[in-house]
Structure formats: structure tokens, C-alpha cells
A and B are shown apart, each in its own frame.
Chain A
Amino acid sequence: MKRIAKANLAELLSAMAAEAKLYVPAESDGIVNFVSWQEGLAVELAALNVLVPPKKFFYPQTETVLQYEMGEDLQIEDFACKAGEKAILFAVRPCDVSSFAMMDKVYLEEPPDEAYRRRRENTTVIALGCTEPDEACFCQSFDIDAAKAPGADVLAVDTGEELALVAQTEKGEELISALNGLLSEATSGDENKVKDEQEKIADRYVTSVSLRGIKERLAGMFAADYWERLYKRCIGCGTCTFLCPTCHCFDLQEYAAGNCGERIRCWDACMFADFTQMAGGHNPRPSQKERVRQRFMHKLNYFPQQHGDYACVGCGRCVRKCPVNLDILEVIREAGGGTDGL
């Protein structure tokens, strides 16, 4: 374990920036997002979740898949093989870190998504352990230890005056050794301090849900009236899906201009009316009811069926941001039944 005084954070960051493109959480007009770091930028370490989850670094909201030009012969330029410059994500919260594992199940499964794979490979993730979850945090319910982030290459723990850094992978080791000049060795005292910090969190949650049997229960609820009641206040916006660290549905669009064209991939939201709109006009999910059902079924039943895990990490973004307060907490409670906490 290494440590560095928070006062010297700026040096550490510029050292990292020298290693690779560095992204850190920063505040602008009251909203915290991951942004590319440059000298003098104030890093926001207090905020829990950034607005747009860091999945965007592996799976951007918009990316060029290929460009083509029609002439005597068709010229096609593939962009996937260009993706993935060397990057470092600093201060990713553990819930978001565990969302990466979920995204991997989708995009690294054979055949892997080349662009995604390259970005994953070339990015070093530095997690920042949580100590104080807010009322909308319920990652604990998904057995995520917000103090630790096993999926991260490096774990950073805020011990007040200092940051403790623990390399957890080879990539992590490399980075730490590259930064060694700035870091000092942690004493056993520090290690205990970190332990204390990490233990505090467990009883600081105010919200939790029981997932016991939710998957099975939902399996039988496809035709339930429940959705009829639930969907009515959904306004069909993309807030929940775009802010969800595990939502991963995309659309492919062609931009043709004369003889040239481009194919882009961009995030899509199953809440949008045109998500399943077919060319002929038929829409298998004609109303918001089917769309809302789809989203929660997918997160709590279909995805677990296919991949073993729930497609939710309890980050609480949908709880905080849904304009009509229609969130997964509500569904897990009402459909799943478990309503401890609160």
C-alpha cells in the first residue's frame, strides 16, 4: 500500500497525465462529470456518483463504426481497430467499477466487441472507496462493498489528510510503480486507518432492498396488472437508461452524404417510443407499459438468466434523477416484496 498527501494530489495527477489520458470527476454548474484533466482543474472527490457513468469510456454515447466512399470500388474504413488510446480513470466509485464487469459480460463475450475490448484493455481504473453513502445508495443490496472495488486496477481510500493507494492488478502495479517517486510507503498504522475507514461504511446505509426470489417472481409477472399500474407515470425519457451504468443498448445510424457515408453507434433507450419501431411501422412494444416492463424485466430477470448477475449495481442514479420517481428500488420492493430498511 502506498500513500500520498491530498495536498500533493495535483502532482500525482499531472504525473498520471504524463502516463496516459487522464479523466477525473469535476464539477461544472453544479453537475459532476468525468472530464479530461488539465493543470489547475479542481478534482471533485466528495461527490458520490458522477452524472454520466464511466461506462462511456469503454462504450461512448456516440462512436464512429466505419466510414465508406462509393466510387469505382467501395472504400471502407473500419474505426474499431483505431479505438482505445491509453487512459486512466481516476476516482471511479465502486458501484461503477462493478458495472464494468457487467458490461464486460455483454461486450467481451465471444465474439468480443473490438472497440470496447481495446478501450477496456488500454484503460487503467483507479477506484475511490466510499465512506458515506447517501440515502439513494443501495449497492450493498447487490453485495457490493463500496469501500473496496475488486474490479479496479488501483483502489484509492480517502483517509482524511491522505489518499491510500492499493494496486490490485498488474496494470495497477505498473501505474503505481510509474508514480513511485511521488508516493510514500504506507505504514501498518496507515493500513489500520484504511481498515477502520472501510469498516465504517457497512452501517451507514439507510436504504437497502432484498432481492430474495425477485428473479423467479418476475418470471411469472410478465402478464401481471402490476405493469399497468406502474407505467402510467413514466414519461418515456432516457434519463434512467442513459444514466444507468449497466444499460448497454445501442442503435446504428447511417449518415450518407452523396457518395460518402458514415456508420455510427450511439446509445439508445428502451424507454423511447421508437426503440423497437420497425421499418414497416409495426412496433412490438406499442405502449410505454411494454417498455417499462422490458427495462425492469431485463435488469432483474432476463440479464440474470443469461449472465448470472442482476443488471443493477445500486448506484441510485435513477432514484435521484428520474423526473417522476419511477425507479428500480420501487420495482424491487413491490415486485420482490422485501422492504427492509427505511
Chain B
Amino acid sequence: MQQKVEGYPLKEYTTKIRQIAKEALENREVTAIIGWRKKDFWWQSPVVFLEDPADVQQLVWDPFTIYSPVKFLLDWQESCAAKVGIFVKGCDSRGINRLLQDKRLERERVAVYGVPCGGKADAEKIRASFPSKEIKSVTLIGEELVLAVGEREERVKAEAYLLDKCLSCRHPNPVVYDKLVWEEVSPRQYADESRFARVQAVESLVTEERFAYWQRQFDRCIRCFACRNTCPACNCRVCIFDQAEPRWLGKANDPADTLNYHIIRAFHVAGRCFECGECERICPAGVPLQELNRKLIKGINDAYGDYEAGLDPTDVPPLGTYRGEDPAGFDES
């Protein structure tokens, strides 16, 4: 299958997005738009909330419009009754389904603008080969990354500079939307192989090596809860970890308590995680959380049949159902 990707230069993407936002705001289809804007540095494209059609000029679509805008819908819904428009990539759209399945979102109160996505760039990978301070802009054109570095323009094969999570993305196209912003892209063929590669690598270690590996990872955890707060599957009104009575999780950064946190966090998203990989990407300490989430996905698929979360908001997650003949991961004699 021929790899089909975003077909025209970034400027036009951004224009398209601004158009849609402008129209939606002007004809009162929505009272606000959630999208992305550009900030101080080339690698910053944070989420932005707009209500005034004049502000749509802030909106952009570039290799760093990574952060999922979806979870902000929770607060939005609580704070106002009006309808909001939101731009979502493939991964973000599964977050929408996540919230719908968890009955945390009223579909009719959101206008979903689906943005087919050819993958996002990894600033670290770029810094490794270009002086960050001199980079003025980075744009994705076709399969090429075009960088303005100092006075010169650099063109490189995009793939080498994309986020790992994008390289193993199975659903680059939105799975739920009211309007598709431009035509769909075709998923990368090698997405599937790479999906569980890191999990298998860790699985292949012996018990003590696995423990040492994870201990090294979790030792860096600063208990900032960014992974939880970013995750659209972590959408409880009051997280169990924030409760004082009973206190499920100690506040001390004790290694065992950190393990407790990561085990229970992963368990709570088991069968619900839709692999956006944001927990791992935004972790300040670089803890490979996706390896943990994917391990559970792999385990559930193997034992209870393939299941991909965030595709159909009407089905029941694997841990909410059972079959009499289910296999068990323990001695059933």
C-alpha cells in the first residue's frame, strides 16, 4: 500500500483549520474553539481556547500540535453549558470516545473537527542533530521535515524525527468527528510490528533484570502526577490517589509507594488505555509508561481476545465483562 500523507504544505493546513474555526464561531455553531497555537519556541504548540472569531489567527497546525485538547472538555462542560468545537488528531479522537464510553462527555455539546495526522515531531531527536537555539521553525511537508536553522533551510526525511509513539500509531485518522478537516492519511505499515516491540524486549528479561529495569525507571519518578492528569482515561472526578480517607497512596515519595502508584494507575486504565502515549511523552522524568500500558493491552488481547479501546464508545471494556471459559493467569486446578 502506497503511504499517503498530508498532501500540501503546513500553511494551507493552518489556513484550513482557521477557516473552520472562524465559520463555526461566526455562525454560532459553537461558542468556543479548542485548538493549538504557537508559543515562544519552535517546539512549543500548546493548546489554546478561543471565543472571538478574530482570534482564530492564533490557531496553527504544525509538527508540535501534540498535546491532546480532549481532556479540557471535562472542565469546559462543567463550567458552561454552551457547545464547544474541538480539533482532534486520530489519537485525540479516541480520547473523545474514551470520555463518551465513561459517560463523562455529552456528545451533542461538542463539535468534533477531525484532523488526519501524518505524525508529530520529536524535539529531542531534532535537537540531537540541529542547534536548538538557531532553529526558527520546523514544518512537515509530505514525508519531509523542513527546518529553518539560522539563515539556512534544512530538508530531512521526517520519519527519523517523528515521535516514537507516532511511528507505532494505528489510527492516524480520527475515529469520531462531525467534520473531517482534510482527506484521510493511510496508517504506516510498520505500525503494528513496532506496537509491542519494547514490551517484548522487557518481557525477554529474567525476573530480577525486569525488576532492576523498572526500579531504575521509577526511581526517577517525581510523583508529579502529570501522567495521570494528562491521560483522558484518568477522568475520575476525584482520583483515588488524591483521597485522604482512606489514603490509598502515601504522599511520601517512597519507592514502594511509587510502585503502588504506577501499578494501580496502569490497572485503572487496563482495557481502557487507547495508546495515545502522552503519559510517557510528557513525563518529565522519562518513565516509559507506555511500555506498562501496552503490556496490559497485550496481556488482555492474548487472554481475552483483541480489544482496542477508544474505537467504539458503546462497548464494555474487557474488565467489565467475562466469558465462562476465560483462561486465567494463575493455577485454576
Bound Cα distance A295, B292 (Å):
33
Bound Cα distance A206, B136 (Å):
12
Nearest residue in A to B217 (C-beta to C-beta)? A29
Nearest residue in A to B225 (C-beta to C-beta)? A237
**Which one, B151-159, B164-172, B203-211, B282-290, is touching chain A?**
B282-290
- A324 and B222 contacting across the interface, CB-CB below 8 Å: no
- B223 and A238 contacting across the interface, CB-CB below 8 Å: yes
Contact with A along B220-258 (1 / 0, CB 8 A): 101111101110000000000010100000111110000
Interface footprint category on B: 35 or more
Bound Cα distance A326, B228 (Å):
18
User: Assuming the A-B contacts A243-B284, A326-B46, are A253 and B252 also in contact, with contact meaning beta carbons closer than 8 angstroms in the complex?
Assistant: yes
- B286 and A30 contacting across the interface, CB-CB below 8 Å: yes
User: Assuming the A-B contacts A28-B220, A206-B133, A237-B226, are A325 and B285 also in contact, with contact meaning beta carbons closer than 8 angstroms in the complex?
Assistant: no
Contacts of A288 in B (CB 8 A): 75
Bound Cα distance A27, B277 (Å):
23
- A135 and B41 contacting across the interface, CB-CB below 8 Å: yes
Is the C-beta of A31 less than 8 angstroms from some C-beta in chain B?
yes
Within 8 A of B (CB), among A231-260: 232-233, 235-239, 242-243, 251, 253, 255
Contacts of B222 in A (CB 8 A): 51-52, 61, 238-239, 242-243
Is the C-beta of B193 less than 8 angstroms from some C-beta in chain A?
no
Bound Cα distance A321, B230 (Å):
13
Smallest beta-carbon distance A130→chain B, Å: 14
Contact with A along B34-49 (1 / 0, CB 8 A): 0000011100111111
Is the C-beta of A272 less than 8 angstroms from some C-beta in chain B?
yes
User: Assuming the A-B contacts A62-B253, A237-B224, A238-B222, are A274 and B242 also in contact, with contact meaning beta carbons closer than 8 angstroms in the complex?
Assistant: yes
Main DSSP-derived SS at the B contact region: loop
Smallest beta-carbon distance A49→chain B, Å: 11
- A232 and B286 contacting across the interface, CB-CB below 8 Å: no
Bound Cα distance A288, B76 (Å):
13
Task: Select one of B252, B253, B286 contacting A31, CB under 8 A.
Answer: B286
Bound Cα distance A324, B223 (Å):
17
Is the C-beta of A268 less than 8 angstroms from some C-beta in chain B?
yes
Bound Cα distance A40, B313 (Å):
54
Smallest beta-carbon distance A30→chain B, Å: 5
Of A236, A237, A272, chain B has the most CB atoms within 10 Å of the CB of A237
Smallest beta-carbon distance B219→chain A, Å: 8
- A232 and B229 contacting across the interface, CB-CB below 8 Å: no
Contacts of A325 in B (CB 8 A): 39, 44-46
Contacts of B133 in A (CB 8 A): 134-135, 206
User: Assuming the A-B contacts A29-B220, A135-B41, A253-B252, are A324 and B225 also in contact, with contact meaning beta carbons closer than 8 angstroms in the complex?
Assistant: no
Contacts of B250 in A (CB 8 A): 253, 255
Is the C-beta of A149 less than 8 angstroms from some C-beta in chain B?
no
Is the C-beta of B67 less than 8 angstroms from some C-beta in chain A?
yes
Within 8 A of A (CB), among B60-74: 67, 71-72
Bound Cα distance A267, B284 (Å):
17
12 contacts between A and B (CB under 8 A): A29-B216, A33-B220, A51-B220, A52-B222, A62-B252, A135-B133, A232-B49, A237-B228, A238-B223, A242-B223, A243-B224, A266-B251
- By a beta-carbon cutoff of 8 Å, the part of chain A in contact with chain B is 28-31, 33, 51-52, 61-62, 134-136, 206-207, 229, 232-233, 235-239, 242-243, 251, 253, 255, 264, 266-269, 272-274, 277, 288, 319, 321, 323-326, 329-330, 342
Since A235-B71, A239-B224, A269-B224 are in contact, a sample of 13 more A-B pairs with Cβ atoms closer than 8 Å, ordered by chain A residue number, is: A61-B222, A62-B252, A134-B132, A233-B72, A235-B229, A237-B226, A243-B224, A253-B250, A253-B251, A253-B252, A323-B67, A323-B230, A324-B46
